[in-house]
Amino acid sequence: MSEMRSLLARAARLGGISGALVLYLVAVGLVLAFAQRNTVTGVVTLGRLMVIAPPLALAFVAAGGRGTFAARLAAGLVTGIISGLITAAAVLFVSSVEVRFILVRISPPLIDFMEFSQGAVPGAAINLAVAIGAGLVGAAVRLIPPRPRRPLVNATLGVVVVSLLEPFLRPRLTDFKLASVARFMFDHKGLTIVAAILVFILFAAFTVGWPILKNNTQRRIAAADPATQATIRGVAILVFILFLLALPQIAGSFLSQVLVFVGLYTLLALGLNIVVGYAGLLDLGYVAFYAVGSYLTALLTSPISSLGLGIPFWIALPIVVLGAALTGVFIGAPVLRLRGDYLAIVTLGFGEIARLLFLSDALKPWFGGVQGILGVPPLFGVTKVSVPILGWELHGPTLTYYPLLGLCVIAAFFAYRIKYSRAGRAWNAMREDEDVAQATGVNTTNYKLLAFALGASVGCLGGAVFVTHLASVFPGTFSITVSITVLSIIILGGMGSIPGVVVGSLALIGLPELLREFAEFRLLVYGGVLVIMMLVRPEGLLPDQARRRELHEAEEETESEDATDAGLERA
Amino acid sequence: MRRSRRLSVVDLVLIALRVVVIVGVVIGSWATLSAGRLNGEQWRDLLVFGVAQGSIYALIALGYTLVYGVLLMINFAHGDVFMFGGMTSFFVADALSRAGFLNGNPLIGMAIVLLTAMVSSAVLAILLERIAYRPLRRAPRLVPLITAIGASLFISNSVRGLYGEQVKAFPALDILKGKFDILGIPVLKTHAVVISAAVIIMLALYWFVERTRTGRAMRAISEDKDTAALMGIDVDRTIAITFAVGGMLAGAAGVLYALVFNQVHFFMGFLPGIKAFTAAVLGGIGNIIGAMLGGLSLGVLESVAPALFLSGLGVPSPNQLRDVVAFSVLVLVLIFRPYGILGRPEGK
């Protein structure tokens, strides 16, 4: 009986959290921002999903406790009821009391949205009913055995993701003369009901089918002789490369612009990953290297900069890289002996000093102050390139994509090789225990400087290419938020993990670019990502093995201690 | 032999940096003073403004120092706790001022405003500790720091979303207009009130930490957490109280800051937060008196330095570089005296 009571008490607490979460999402403006974005047109919008998701998810958690089938379902119900009561009370409150002069987002359209356009009392009742329904569904999903649960959950998420891709998919389908497909799939910024059902079935089938398919193929490849295996691997890599090369043509110019951003941040993150991920030095002023790369490139290549040299990009690049590496050493040298957290703050200081100096009137004759430097020539000297056989016209983002891709591949290859080199091992040792590393003969000073120099050189590449893309450079670009964004990418993907960097920038740069409503909530989400990842999964989504072990070392120790304690008690 | 030569490269950079800074400061101030750019009164005004600003930094810096004392972590989100206090106090002050209460009963009115700010900041600080930091006490050192950076971003952008992103004009009090005459020196009334309020709050804190049971528990935890727990101190509760006290000081600082600059904004926590952290390190982090002294010296330095060193060096529009001075102090303090002016080098 007490088990039941504790289950329900926990459910009630989770319900409270869920209610608070809903109110937060509503008041902070996320719900209204997405209220017009249909997921399944005529059925549910993304804004509505945000209101439904907390009770659903927390009821899922609440139903996970120990107890009978009915008790766990009841736990979900309790979570839903409490969450719903909180929401309903809030709806009643804001429809009778004006709070907009404090909470600026509680506008009449938002109140109308939360009332389901039904007026205060019925609206509150609907909110309660929806939360209870969500709670029951959440608990029910938890009670389904995992094997049938996974395709259901994946398919639901699949529908949401495909609907998010609407602003990109629809115009592209039309471009490829598939306007009828586009009309069939999408309606009013969302999936049509029929298309949603199809997508759902497709994803469910895929979740069920994929492991079987994968196992079969793997078994067949393993059974084949080595020569065939090599061929298969070669073909797979070739197909992947061709895909990457053709991507801007498939994606179109809007998505190519997004890809350019993703590429830029991937490059920056690859560089910061060397400093933070490999060497374990938390650098919060990474934007300084990006700025140095940008400004040096602009100074050297722009004919109307203060130097007025107008050197071709590819000749300037080595000078830029060298300059950035020197800056890395210059910033790195004084901070080497600092403890980890002080190092973070000092680098943050350096980053801000760099930005303020580029911005200042004092250095205006060199860097142009607020106006920055204009007239940076395009990367290949021309704005348009046509590829003869394929008939591609490359310009703007579709052109910038290629040098960025090339640099990303080179940087990733380089980062991969150095990770397993002597330097990589030295960093590993240093990160785990600096004193021991020093005692075993690792020259920590030099390896720290190396990390800073390499990180700076990789980061400046991003700046160099991006300057030619924009044809100008402004000091406003280089705020602390760039450093934090790059840090978030690494943390989300996993410190020290190269695939993690790519996934991180796709998720944190690519996704927000697709969701334009999202723009003003970006930093909010980055902050949330940092906190949640550190609390739940500090090793990141695609962890690096060594890093994961370090981060869970403490837990393992306490666990084994607990085990010993328990053993002692038993004895 | 090889090893010592390589190390000396770093030493060389450090020495060069030291020389550049000292030479710049000396030449700059000499040039300014000999040129007589500003008269005595202007210097005095800069100094008083610096002290007012510095006493606000000191209040915030105490929060960093208290938390560092018990947890050995830099609470990067502390600047946003400060901002939150200023923000909530704005709504109360605005409502009171519209009702005419704030100018009718300025003492009671300001007490209410101050109390709201202190309570709301304390609540936020407790929530922060409970949700973001407590689960990470045993994690490697960088993990809570990254969490704190995330929390800082999350709080400031939540406030932006909840309360709007425009700058809000903090109501001015009639009673605070004009100047006091203190020992023949005219001082803006706002500055005088801010300085005395900060001093009173700091004295109260000093009494709390040195004379009360809870204060003793806090000091015990900062000496040794595990032993303190064995002596029957409730560690979790005391840490929560430490965060609450730090939050209260930050909230009060938020109101004082709003009084001096007449505005509040969702991003106003970032710079004072960093500067107060500098102040805390300058005074020796973990050291309460040090934080107060560090705050005052940083405030004065920041107010006087651009006029004193930079204009003497012939730098155009030196006031643009105020924050460069603050960040340079931060960098130089952390590099050359990470144990602060009052502290001693940590023995390894």
Helices (H), A144-225: 146-164, 166-175, 179-185, 193-223
Q: B275 near B302, Cβ under 8 Å?
A: yes
Phi, psi of A362 (to 5 degrees): -60, -40
Structure tokens at A242: 């061709």
Query: Per the domain annotation, does B34 fall within a domain?
Result: no
pLDDT (mean) for A306-334: 88
**Rg, chain A, Cα only:** 27
- Residues of B with Cβ-Cβ distance to A102 under 8 angstroms: 91, 163
- Residues of A with Cβ-Cβ distance to B276 under 8 angstroms: none
Three-point CA angle A10, A13, A15, nearest 5°: 110
pLDDT in tens, A85-120: 999 999 999 988 888 888 888 888 898 888 888 888
Interface test with B, best of A24, A281, A353 (most B CBs within 10 A): A353
- What pLDDT is stored for residue B347 in this prediction? 41
- What pLDDT is stored for residue A554 in this prediction? 57
Mean pLDDT by 10 residues, chain B (348 residues): 55 83 83 75 86 93 91 91 94 90 86 95 96 89 90 94 90 81 79 90 92 92 89 92 95 94 91 90 86 90 82 72 83 84 58
Q: Which residue has the tokens 């309460």?
A: B288
Query: Per the domain annotation, does B205 fall within a domain?
Result: yes
- What pLDDT is stored for residue A513 in this prediction? 81
Query: Per the domain annotation, does B33 fall within a domain?
Result: no
Query: Per the domain annotation, does B29 fall within a domain?
Result: no
Q: What's the domain count of chain B?
A: 1
Structure tokens at A272: 């910061």
C-beta atoms of B324 and A361 within 8 A: no
Q: Rounded distance, CA A357 to CA A390, Å?
A: 47
- What pLDDT is stored for residue A570 in this prediction? 44
- Residues of A with Cβ-Cβ distance to B3 under 8 angstroms: 443
- Residues of A with Cβ-Cβ distance to B73 under 8 angstroms: 341
Q: Rounded distance, CA B210 to CA B212, Å?
A: 6
Query: Per the domain annotation, does B32 fall within a domain?
Result: no
Could you tell me the CA-to-CA distances from B331 to A354, B14, B149, B335 in Å, in that order? 12, 12, 19, 6
Q: Is the pLDDT of residue A268 over 90?
A: yes
- Identity of the residue in A346, A534, A538 whose CB atom sits nearest the CB atom of B334: A346
**What CATH number has the domain bearing residue B204?**
1.10.3470
Helices (H), chain B: 2-35, 40-71, 78-98, 101-104, 106-128, 142-163, 189-211, 213-223, 225-230, 235-261, 270-282, 288-305, 322-336
Q: A240 near A234, Cβ under 8 Å?
A: no
- What pLDDT is stored for residue A556 in this prediction? 55
The number of C-beta contacts closer than 8 angstroms across A and B is 175
Query: Per the domain annotation, does B13 fall within a domain?
Result: no
C-beta atoms of A340 and B74 within 8 A: no
- What pLDDT is stored for residue B91 in this prediction? 93
C-beta atoms of A345 and B274 within 8 A: yes
The ipTM is 0.89
How close B338 comes to chain A (CA, Å)?
Answer: 8
Interface test with A, best of B142, B282, B309 (most A CBs within 10 A): B142
pLDDT in tens, A392-418: 777 778 888 998 999 999 999 999 999
Structure tokens at B53: 């600003």
Q: Where are the domains of chain A?
A: 2-215, 258-482+509-524
Output A305 or A242, whichever has higher pLDDT. A242
Q: Rounded distance, CA A119 to CA B343, Å?
A: 64
- What pLDDT is stored for residue A553 in this prediction? 67
pTM: 0.89
Query: Where does residue A374 rank: exposed (0-12), middle (13-18), buried (19+ CB within 10 A)?
Result: middle
Query: Per the domain annotation, does B235 fall within a domain?
Result: yes
**Amino acid in position A4:** M
- Identity of the residue in B138, B320, B338 whose CB atom sits nearest the CB atom of A342: B338
Query: Where does residue A436 rank: exposed (0-12), middle (13-18), buried (19+ CB within 10 A)?
Result: exposed
Q: Rounded distance, CA A532 to CA A554, Å?
A: 19
Output B7 or A512, whichever has higher pLDDT. A512
**Amino acid in position A570:** R
Q: Is the pLDDT of residue A456 over 90?
A: yes
- The four Cα atoms B325, B326, B330, B331 give a dihedral, to 10 degrees, of -30
Q: A329 near A340, Cβ under 8 Å?
A: no
Q: Rounded distance, CA A376 to CA A296, Å?
A: 11
C-beta atoms of A345 and B277 within 8 A: yes
Q: Is the pLDDT of residue A51 over 80?
A: yes
Query: Per the domain annotation, does B182 fall within a domain?
Result: yes
Output B304 or A270, whichever has higher pLDDT. A270
Q: Which domain holds residue B51?
A: 42-336
Please check whether residue A560 touches B, CB under 8 A.
no
